[in-house]
Structure 1
Amino acid sequence: MRLRVTHANHRPTGQQDSAGRSAVSSDAQPAPAPQQAGTTETLQTVRDADGQVTSVVRRTLLPGGLRILSEQMAGVRSASVGVWIAVGSRDEEGALHGASHFLEHLLFKGTRERSAMDISVALDEVGGEFNAFTAKEYTCFHARVLDTDMALAVDVIGDMVTNSVITDEDVEAEREVILDEIAMHDDDPDDVVHNLFALQAWGDSPLGRPIAGSVESIESMTREQILDFYETHYRPATMVVTVAGNVDHDAVVRAAEAAFNRNGFLERTGTPVLPTITDAADPVTPGSRTVTRSLEQVNLVLGVRGLTRNDPRRFVLGVLNTALGGGTSSRLFQEVREKRGLAYSVYSFSSHHDVAGLVGVGVACLPAKVEDTLTVVRAELARLAAEGITPEELARGKGQLRGGLVLGLEDSAARMSRLGKAELVYDRLMSIDEVLEAIDAVTLEQVNALAAELFVQPEVLATVGP
C-alpha cells in the first residue's frame, strides 16, 4: 500500500546555498530560500489510504545554527535520538589522523555533571541502548529509549558533546583502548583488505586512511590537539539533532535547547555547515596492493571509480549493484559459488562520499583458487560492460531494493538515522515514496549505460593473505 506524502514546507531540507552548500551538480536546480533561524518547518506529512497521519517530519533551526529534526511515528512506543556532527576522518590532516574517533571515545569519559559511570547508568536504568560511531564524513552519538525517556536521552548526549572535561588521565587511558581497537581491526582480514583498497584508490589522503588512525598518530596525539579539534568542529552549526518515534516536535526542541545550552554553547553564532553536492567523482589511482598474512584464505577486493553520494544515477547504480552481487540470485554468487565452487562468500558493493565513490567486488577464497576467482570476476564485469543486464535481472534488482528500503525503515532508529544523513550529507530529505518511485523509474537502458561506463575503467585491486 502506497502512502500519500504532503510537503508542507517550501524548501527541501539541506538546500541552503547561502549557508555554505556548494551546489555544483550538472543537474542542480535553483535553491529555494533558506529556512530562517528561530523558525520551524514541516518537511513531510505522510497519510495512509484512509487519510490517517502516520508520520510527520518537522525541522527547527536555532539561531546558532543547530538543526533539530523529528519524525513523529504512529504505532510505536520508542524514541530514537541521534546527535550528528559534520566531522569525520576525511577532515583530518597529518598528525590529527584518528582525532575524530579519539574524540568520540573521550566524550564518554565524563562531563562536569556526570562521571563515565553516571553516563552509563542513566541509560541502562531505563533499558535504553546507547552507542556512537565515527565515519569518514560524520560522527554520531545515538540512543534508543522508551518514548517517556526521550528528554533524558537528549540530555545525556547534549551533556556529553557540550560539557565534557577530557582530562589528561582520560586521554592516556583511552589511547590504550584505541590502540587495542586498531590491533583488533588489523587482525580482521576483511577490514585490512578494504582499508588497503581505499589506500590504493585514494592514496595517503584523508579518504584513503583508516578511520581509527594509525598506531603512530594515536601514540603521538596530545590532549591539546584533541581539545583544539573539539573546539573547531563541535559547534552548533556543524550539529544536527534527530529524534524519531512517539515524540512531539515541540517537546524535542525544548529538550534539545535545555541539553545544549550548557556553557553558552547555543550562544555561538553561525549558519549550518552543509556538504558539497556534485556528481563529479574524484579520480582514483589504478593499481594493486598486497599485504602478506598467515591466513587460510586470501581476501580480495577488486573495483573501479564509482559515483558520488548525490549523483542522480545512484538509484541506477543500486539496481546494477544488486544484479551484480547483491544476493544469492546475483551473477557473482551464481558464477563464483554455485557453478564453480570457488568461494563461500562473494558480494559487490558501492561506497559513496561527497566528491568520490567506489564500486567493487569482495571475495575470500583458498590460495589455490585466487587466479580462477579473479578470472571469473573480471569476466563478469567485462560481460556487464559489453552486454548489460537482462529485463529479469532489472526486475529482481528493483524488487530487492524496494523491499530492503521499506523493511529497513520500520523501526525508529532507522528513521532517526535517515533524518540525520539527509540533513548532513544528502541534498534533501526524500520521502519513502519518492525513493520507491526513483527505483521504479530506473530503466534497462540506464543500467546498461552505467555498466558500460564504469566497468571499462582501470581496476583497483587489494589482496590480503598468504
Structure 2
Amino acid sequence: MTSTSLHGLREVRVAGDRHPAPFLRATLPGGLTLIVKPIRALPIVAVDAWVGVGAAHEPPGVEGIAHFLEHMFFKGTPAHPLGEMDGMVKNMGGYNNAATSLENTHYFIVAPSPHWETALALLADGLQNLALPGEELAREREVVKEEINRKEDSPAGRLYTVLSETALAGTPYGHSVLGTRESLDRIGRDEMGAYWRRHYNTANTVVAVVGDVDPDAALRAVQSAFDYYRRGSPSAIAAFTAPRPRPAVLRESKDVGQTYLALAATTPGREHPSYHALELASLVVGEGPTSLLSRRLERELNLVTGISAWSYDLRGTGLLGVDAVCDPDQTERVVEEIGVVLSEAVRGAITPAAVERAKRILRADFDFDNETASSISGTLAEFELLFGGAERFADYLSGIEAVRPEECVRVLEEFFAPASRLTVIVEPDAEGHGSSGRDEARPAIAAAGPDPA
C-alpha cells in the first residue's frame, strides 16, 4: 500500500489497485478524516459522515441513546428547522438516511453532483448544531418505543434479541441498539445533549465524499463546513472480559405458526487471527443452496423452510451462529441434524472445493456491495473508522484468500463445539398464543449431534 501527497490530500493505492482503491485521504486540524474517491461515470455524489459511537459506547441506564440521537439528527438545527433538510434534499433530487449500530452511527446524503456542496453543508450543520427540540424529543421517544414493539412482535427479531443479550451478557455489546422503554424514559434533552457533545467531534468523525467531485474542491468544502466542529477524542468502548461460552437452551413461546431457532457461540472478534477463517467457515456450512446445512436439512430431509450460518465480528468478541425456520414438530430433529452436519464438517466435509466456493461468494459479495457511490463511501469510511484505515479492505480480502480448509475446521472445533453453543428457540405455544416467559429447555437438545472434538 502506498500514498502520495496531492495538495493536502494523499493518494492511497493498494496492490493491483483493487476496487475501491485508489482514493485520497486527508486529516484535518483537530483530527477529522476526509476520504475522497472521484468517480466520473455518473453525475452523482455520496456524502457520508461516520461517527465512531454506537450502542456499545452507552453508559448504563441510558441504553438506546445513540440510536435515539440519530433520530433527533433529522429534527432540525437553528439554521434549518424541522423538515427543512429533508425538503432541500428532496428538491435537489437526492435522498438521505442514517443508521446506528453497536459501534458507529452514520448519516449520508446522495445527490446530483451540482448539489453535493449543499448536501455536505446540511450534514455538517446537523453534526455540529442540533436543536434537540423538547416536543420532538418526546415524539421520537414514542417512535423508538414502537420500533421496540415491532422487533419484539417479530419472531426473528425476538430470537436475535434473546440470543445476543444472553451470549454477550456482561459486555458493552449485550444490549439492543434500540434500548428499552425504561431506558428511553430516562433520556431527556440534557442527557442527549451531553452525549452528543461528548462523542460528536473532529477526532471521532470520518467524512467520505465519493462520485463526480473534484478532490481539491472536496477538501476545501469539508475544511470550511467543519471549521467550527468540536475538537475532541475518539470514543472508547469500556474494557471487558471476553464472554464465556453459555451452553444452554432457551425456549420462548409466541403467537407464531413456525419455530424460529438459532445456535450460536462466542468468538474472539475481528482483531483475532481466526477472523477470516470464521467468515469462510460460516459460508461453507450455511450460505446458499449448496452449503452443507442447506443441502442436508432443506434439500435432502425437507426439515426446514430456511437455514443459514453466519459470523458476526465485533471488537474483542463476536458470534458464530446458525439459524433456521421449521415446523414446530420438527424442532428437536432440526437441532439434532444441525449437530450432525457440524460434526461431519470437521470430519472431512469441508473440502478445498467448498472453501474455494466460499471465497468466490465473499469476493462477489464485496464487489456487489461496492457498485454505487453510496456503497463505496460506506465501505471506505467503515474501514477507516473500525479497521484503522480505509485501505485495510485489501487486508480483509487477502486474508480471506489465504485461509486453508484445515483452518475452517479448526475454528469450528475451537469455537463452535457442542459444549459452547447457546440454543434459542421461539415457538408456538400450545394454544397458539404467545407467552412472555422464558424457559430452560431440556438439556438433551443442547448436546444434540455428535461431539466434533
Q: Taking structure 2 as the reference length, what is the TM-score of the superposition?
A: 0.87
**Which consecutive residues of structure 2, in runs of 5 or more, have no partner in the other structure?**
429-453
**For 1:96, what is the secondary structure of its paired residue?**
coil
| Distance in structure 2 (CA, Å) of the matches to 1:89 and 1:410 | 29
Matched, 1:40 2:12: no
Letter in 2 for 1:8: S
Deviation at 1:272, TM superposition (A): 5.1
The counterpart of 2:380, out of the listed 410, 419, 422, is 419
Deviation at 1:45, TM superposition (A): 6.8
| Distance in structure 1 (CA, Å) of the matches to 2:39 and 2:375 | 12
**For 1:75, what is the secondary structure of its paired residue?**
coil
Deviation at 1:271, TM superposition (A): 5.4
| Distance in structure 1 (CA, Å) of the matches to 2:420 and 2:130 | 47
**For 1:361, what is the secondary structure of its paired residue?**
strand
Deviation at 1:383, TM superposition (A): 2.1
The counterpart of 1:392, out of the listed 339, 353, 360, is 353
Per mean C-alpha deviation after superposition, the further-off stretch among 243-252 and 191-200 is 243-252
The counterpart of 2:197, out of the listed 231, 235, 238, is 231
**Alignment correspondent of 2:122:** 156
**Which consecutive residues of structure 1, in runs of 5 or more, have no partner in the other structure?**
1-5, 11-37
Matched, 1:265 2:229: yes
Per mean C-alpha deviation after superposition, the further-off stretch among 60-69 and 434-443 is 434-443
Matched, 1:171 2:137: yes
Do the aligned partners of 1:388 and 1:447 also contact (CA within 8 Å) in 2?
Answer: no
Distance 1:432 1:54, change over 3 A: closer
| Distance in structure 2 (CA, Å) of the matches to 1:145 and 1:321 | 37
Do the aligned partners of 2:62 and 2:187 also contact (CA within 8 Å) in 1?
Answer: yes
| Distance in structure 1 (CA, Å) of the matches to 2:265 and 2:392 | 31
| Distance in structure 2 (CA, Å) of the matches to 1:387 and 1:142 | 46
**For 1:290, what is the secondary structure of its paired residue?**
strand
| Distance in structure 2 (CA, Å) of the matches to 1:254 and 1:356 | 39
Deviation at 1:47, TM superposition (A): 7.4
Do the aligned partners of 1:308 and 1:354 also contact (CA within 8 Å) in 2?
Answer: yes
Q: How does 1:447-462 map to 2 (within 5 A)?
A: 447-456=408-417, 457-462=419-424
Matched, 1:8 2:37: no
Distance 1:369 1:390, change over 3 A: same
**Alignment correspondent of 1:29:** none
Do the aligned partners of 1:46 and 1:54 also contact (CA within 8 Å) in 2?
Answer: no
**Alignment correspondent of 1:381:** 342
Do the aligned partners of 1:182 and 1:214 also contact (CA within 8 Å) in 2?
Answer: yes
Per mean C-alpha deviation after superposition, the further-off stretch among 151-160 and 54-63 is 54-63
Q: How does 1:28-427 map to 2 (within 5 A)?
A: 39-44=8-13, 56-203=22-169, 205-261=171-227, 264-266=228-230, 268=231, 270=232, 282-387=243-348, 389-427=350-388
Letter in 1 for 2:174: G
| Distance in structure 2 (CA, Å) of the matches to 1:439 and 1:428 | 18
| Distance in structure 1 (CA, Å) of the matches to 2:83 and 2:181 | 28
| Distance in structure 1 (CA, Å) of the matches to 2:100 and 2:20 | 32
Distance 1:123 1:153, change over 3 A: same
% identical equivalent positions: 25
| Distance in structure 2 (CA, Å) of the matches to 1:237 and 1:212 | 25
Distance 1:217 1:9, change over 3 A: same
Question: Could you give the per-residue CA deviations for residues 118-162 of structure 1, whole angstroms, max 9, x where no partner exists?
Answer: 111111012212100110011111121122222111111111111
Letter in 2 for 1:465: E
**Alignment correspondent of 2:433:** none
| Distance in structure 1 (CA, Å) of the matches to 2:8 and 2:135 | 42
**For 2:304, what is the secondary structure of its paired residue?**
coil
Letter in 2 for 1:458: S
| Distance in structure 1 (CA, Å) of the matches to 2:383 and 2:79 | 32
| Distance in structure 1 (CA, Å) of the matches to 2:115 and 2:155 | 40
| Distance in structure 1 (CA, Å) of the matches to 2:325 and 2:333 | 12
**Alignment correspondent of 1:19:** none
Letter in 2 for 1:463: I
Do the aligned partners of 1:422 and 1:428 also contact (CA within 8 Å) in 2?
Answer: yes
**Alignment correspondent of 1:30:** none
Deviation at 1:418, TM superposition (A): 1.0
**Alignment correspondent of 1:13:** none
Question: Could you give the per-residue CA deviations for residues 173-223 of structure 1, whole angstroms, max 9, x where no partner exists?
Answer: 111111111111111111111111011102265311110110111123221
**Alignment correspondent of 1:442:** 403
Distance 1:431 1:172, change over 3 A: closer
**For 1:216, what is the secondary structure of its paired residue?**
helix
State the Cα RMSD in Å: 2.6
